[in-house]
Structure 1
Amino acid sequence: MALPGRRLPGGRCRRPAALQGRLAHPRERRALTAASARRIHLPSMMKPLRLAPGLALLLAACAALPREGSAAREEPIRESEAALPTGGKAIATFESLGIYWKPPAAPGPAGCLVRYKPSGEDAWKEALPLWYDARNGECRGSIVNLKPDTQYIVRLGLPGEPSSVELKTRTWSERFPIAKTIEVGARTTTLEISEGGSPQGYLLYKGGTIDVRDAQPFAVRIAAPYVIVRGFTVKGAQQDAIRIEPNAHDVVIEENDVSEWGRFRRVNYAGWKIGMNMDSGIAAYCRKGPSLERVIIQNNKIHHPRYGANSWSEGHPAGPNAILFSQCGGNHVFRFNEIYSDEGRYFMDAIGGEENFSDIGFPNSDTDIYGNIIMHAWDDAIEAEGANRNVRIWGNYLDRTTTGVATTVTQVGPVYIFRNVYNRSRQLVNRAPDDDDRNVFAKSGTTAQWGGGRRYIFHNTLLQSPPESGGRFPLGAGGAISG
């Protein structure tokens, strides 16, 4: 499944506008710099890398495209200047739009045409076509790498025909209006947030250290909408460091340091203290229905749970997560977080949730996961399984996990996985690295009952770090894409 593109002079490839952009957003570079300063040792991306044959780049876009002459020029996209009838729907985040449209006729495998531009500009761009889902007669897809707080005009149509409908929408602003700031000092009891704001003004909770010293289930509990939790050191929770209740929505959790949470379950054969399954740094449970929408988790350090998870040497890993949402709503953003631990206290999944075999799951829909540094999980770095309706995962650095990005299953789709970097894979702790059953970067399975949604996997990089002392084989994934 090659990404459509055009050759430019010299054989370079021009990507469609839907996937243009950079690997490292300025904030991503800032996160990488901060990680290096804190002695998370990331391998230099500037050194020559030892890449496994066939794994260096997944699904290279230009491999099968013919070269064009050096004088080749791309024709501008022509669209009528007249307004078109309103049609379709868009759901925004900071840098993406999820697009939905039921066309008047089935477009076939080519999908539906998408063109867009910022309001007030002249030049139109063409996005990757929307995937046509014959199960419900809907074209769905995403436009990515957009500018925050910008109005866009999007036009939709059938292949080979002029655009037939248009819609106007706006990406999210990165500036949140503040109605009131509540300064929270150091404390040893749970911060109960029951007062929230409104679309016109959030309540900003700013703080120092909250250490509940293993005496209370949560260090912070959020049960109100339009809330920002910023600048806390959160530790010592019995179960979840930060719990978000399903009646909350429009919540921002940013610039916090979260650690030392979780309950004890057992000691394994290696002497590790194994924690209770799914105790998490940040958790939300919405089992009465897919509520809880528009949660932004950004620029946090989530690290070192009190106890760890078991590896696959003892069966499916069970233990703590960094972030876990269970059967919640969608339209979230998880970006620029640093997630890490150390030997004996690995996560089960770093970012994930449940139920995997369902039409909800995590992160459900219209969600972006990008710019994160994710390390030290015995199962998935990112577990995006369930509906995966217009879910975008890009620009993440993943290391020392069993798999990179898991999408088993994708019931609704589409999900986009692009420009991620996956370094070392480790699955079985009781074997030497040369004998380990390395897993894959993209776990992409289905079942007889669940699955059928579209996946797009573009331009990801799999590293093969040199072997450890005395070893023979490099330490990267054992495969690229598998069920």
Structure 2
Amino acid sequence: MRILGVVIILVTIPLTVLLAVKGVQFRSQAAGFSALTSTFKSISVYAPYVSGSPTLEYKKTSSSTWLPAYPPYVDGTSEIRGSIVGLTPNTPYDVRLTVGGIVYTGAISTKNDQLSFGTGNTYYVATTGSDSNSGTSAAPFKTIQKAANTVVAGDTVKIKTGTYVEKVTVSKSGTSGNPISFANNGDGEVIISGGSSCASSNLTNNFLIESQNYVRISGLTAKNASEAAIRINGGGNHIIDNNKILDWNCADLEDQLRAGVAAWNGAKNLWVLSNTISRTAKNTLMGDGFWTKNTGDSTGGGHIIAKNTIIGAYDAVGSEPEDTTYGGVHKDADIYENTVTNCNDDGIQPEGGNTNVRVWGNKITSCMLGVGMAPTKKGPLYVFRNVIVDSRPRWTAGQGMFKLGDYTTGRIYVFHNSYYSTNGADGFKQSNTQLGNMVSRNNSVYSSRYAIETTSHNGLPMDFNYDLLYTSDTSRFVKWNNNNDYTDLAKFQATGQETRGIQANPKYVNPSGGDLTLQSGAPGIDKGQVLPNFNDANSAWAYTGTAPDMGAFEAGGATPPSDTTPPSVSITSPTNGATVSGTVTLAANASDNVSVAKVEFYLDGSLKSTDTSSPYSYSWDTTTTINGSHTLSAKAYDALVNVGTSSTVSVNVNNQNTQVLTFTPTDDATIVRDFPYKNFGSLSALVADGYPRRNFLVKFLVSGVTGRTVVSAKLRFYCFEPAIVGGIFYRTTNDLWKEGTITWSNAGATTTKVATLGRVAAGKTYDVDVSAFIKGNGILSLAIATPSADGAAYYSKERGGVYVPKLIITIQ
């Protein structure tokens, strides 16, 4: 019966079943939950409260083992709210909640973090173009605004290198899966500027997105705007990624809304990823790095603000209004792995509703306060695994690790944070009246004033335990509810708090250098509490030893990012002294002690392309370069913007009357061993998978080659599902197959191995060298398999547009 069921599904929706193992499908929630929502790495859970203490569990849909999540929060007698964290992107999960004898089950997939452009037309812009042109690569527009006026959903604007002094207003929307995109063409830096300098800026914004949806801005430099660099007026589902956003608020007015990225009118579901956001040309008291403002309970939320480097803002991540249930980033939002330095107020400020908001893995240095959460009106807010160093004074205000209070009534969880400051700063710092409903576990605090200073509780529970607390001020230790008599841990424990806490120097490895990992024998090792989904064996942060360590790092675990170590990078192809012609793949290896953020490729010292994921490569059309000697180099960047530069490779370009021929397949299809007589030739995917076994075939009819010399021949595929081995390519014995009739049973045998494609990542194109197998006109028929059980998926010719497979032959 099970086999029959699968066959039926394959007949009706074969692509869904074919790709189910890859997590392409999205499952909807079941009845019972009020809502299930997801980000890349988290799930938000909402359910009606019945009675008793709720139990929350989760599992990957492919697994049979339920795992415990941290107990969700019960808001009075009305609603259960909680988060599941540390999940795998683009993966189906099942969720189970047990409360009052009732079991709720539901399913949802995490969001896909492999970003892609739309499938529509591509328009080009160049400083040498004309707005009377058609917008092709050969006849580009002159202004980005002309392209913005031309595009429709799914279209991409590729902007060629140069400086564009203009304000780009986007007044059209993309759709889910088909955004309107503005992207770097790959031939050098693209600068969109409000003027030649911040002092001469006369344009309000670099980009203005007016109440639209699904717009992506990628790989550009936006600078010298008099207000916000990128302003979003409502709408949502926008992606701002891999940009440099520099020196906004050139008017230098005291408004947080004058931000690097400013979202007005309750914009929803904004993904701000891997950008450098830096304001150094003007007074850093003014303007946030990212700022959002909501207008009601149905607005805002769903944001992912991750892996950005933010320098010299007011709040690096800020928001308004702060004192409402819909304020701040509102709900269902993740703020993680950002590097924040030199901000004048809060490093990260999730102040407002904070309903299932998660803040983790951020490193915050030289800000007045690390994380501001005054107030949290609804919750739960999860603040965990953050590193906060060198809180600094501003005016006469105090400073600290966390800002608390301001009539907080929503639940706050603070777990596994590490803090170090020597300039008169507190650890936990209440800045406004009325604090309550807070749980603290496994934090490590080195302060130079109070380790904890709270001044006004509101009667809601305060639960502090398993924290390591230390101050270098011998006259202070803890002020609790405005009582400063707690000069040591024993006295504080008399309140019922920190019964398993520790009062000791945490013994960080190099705190003045920002390294808050623990020395061998540090007092916080193995002294923490096990927290399901936050440090247990099944979590993304599993502890070692007999118990979790206190603080952000597990002793013997991963080393924190270095502030000074640059990545290493080398060009692996072409080799030094090589003669090249036609289209050549530039390839580089790059590594870092933490991670590589991007690799840039340079030709004769000019930036040609940027790649943000391994393997790092760039297809260089040498016919656009004059014959003769040229130099190639690469630069690798880490998240802290440390830069490593490769050795120079010299090559000789020799294109003698070359011609580039491009062919698309006459036929392509996936074949499936478990369904030997089923044809899948109409699908838009080509899948190679080791288990369950799938191969794909592709066939080209080559013409115009006989009698000419083949300089190079490359197959090009666009990957949308990653794998460790992208494919092993073989010649087929049967060249007469057709995609409408080919099956596993009639595909025939393979012969010569052509090539092996290594690790592939989603959202990238890959070239396979087949030069040795193109001798003249005729048929090139290949079968592609892989031993990888994770499988690889590429678009077929049925996909259409720029993603179809290609055979590119350079002849002379």
- Unpaired runs of 5+ residues, structure 1, are 1-83, 266-273, 311-318, 342-346, 430-435, 468-473
CA-to-aligned-CA distance 1:195-245 (integer Å, 9 cap, x gap): 331113122211311012111100111232111100111101111111011
Shift in CA distance, 277/169, structure 1 to aligned 2, threshold 3 Å: closer
1:296 corresponds, among 263, 271, 275, to 271
The residue type paired with residue 99 of structure 2 is L
In 2: Cα distance, 1:254 partner to 1:479 partner: 39
Structure 1 residue matching 2:342: 3-state secondary structure: strand
The residue type paired with residue 212 of structure 1 is G
Q: Which residue of 1 aligns with 2:289?
A: 322
Q: Which residue of 2 aligns with 1:457?
A: 414
In 1: Cα distance, 2:347 partner to 2:46 partner: 29
In 1: Cα distance, 2:105 partner to 2:446 partner: 49
CA contact (8 A) 1:206 1:229 kept: yes
Alignment of 1:22-421 (within 5 A): 86-103=32-49, 105-107=50-52, 110=53, 112-134=54-76, 137-158=78-99, 164-177=103-116, 178-179=118-119, 180-185=155-160, 186-207=163-184, 208-213=190-195, 214-223=201-210, 224-246=212-234, 248-264=235-251, 276-286=255-265, 291-310=266-285, 319-327=286-294, 329-341=300-312, 347-421=313-387
The residue type paired with residue 190 of structure 1 is K
CA contact (8 A) 2:226 2:251 kept: no
Identity of paired residues, percent? 27
In 2: Cα distance, 1:117 partner to 1:292 partner: 32
In 1: Cα distance, 2:238 partner to 2:400 partner: 34
CA contact (8 A) 2:347 2:369 kept: yes
CA contact (8 A) 1:115 1:154 kept: yes
| 1:461 positional shift | 0.4
In 1: Cα distance, 2:80 partner to 2:169 partner: 43
What is the Cα-based RMSD across aligned positions, in Å? 2.4
- Unpaired runs of 5+ residues, structure 2, are 1-29, 120-154, 185-189, 196-200, 425-444, 455-812
Shift in CA distance, 228/477, structure 1 to aligned 2, threshold 3 Å: farther
| 1:149 positional shift | 0.7
1:424 and 2:390 equivalent? Answer: yes
1:445 corresponds, among 405, 411, 416, to 405
CA contact (8 A) 1:444 1:482 kept: no
| 1:175 positional shift | 2.6
CA contact (8 A) 1:379 1:427 kept: no
> Which 4+ runs in 1 deviate beyond 3 A?
84-88, 274-278, 464-467, 474-483
Shift in CA distance, 277/384, structure 1 to aligned 2, threshold 3 Å: closer
The residue type paired with residue 307 of structure 1 is K
| 1:299 positional shift | 0.3
CA-to-aligned-CA distance 1:323-351 (integer Å, 9 cap, x gap): 1111251010000000113xxxxx32111
The residue type paired with residue 222 of structure 1 is I
In 2: Cα distance, 1:401 partner to 1:475 partner: 16
In 1: Cα distance, 2:255 partner to 2:324 partner: 24
Length, aligned pairs only: 353
Give TM-score, length-normalised by structure 2: 0.42
In 2: Cα distance, 1:480 partner to 1:361 partner: 29
In 2: Cα distance, 1:462 partner to 1:172 partner: 32
Q: Which structure: larger Rg?
A: 2
Q: Which residue of 1 aligns with 2:682?
A: none
Structure 1 residue matching 2:164: 3-state secondary structure: coil
Give TM-score, length-normalised by structure 1: 0.69
The residue type paired with residue 152 of structure 1 is Y
Which of 1 and 2 has higher RCO (CA within 8 Å, sep 6+)? 1
Which sits farther off after the overlay, 233-242 or 183-192?
Answer: 183-192
The residue type paired with residue 283 of structure 1 is A
In 2: Cα distance, 1:88 partner to 1:277 partner: 35
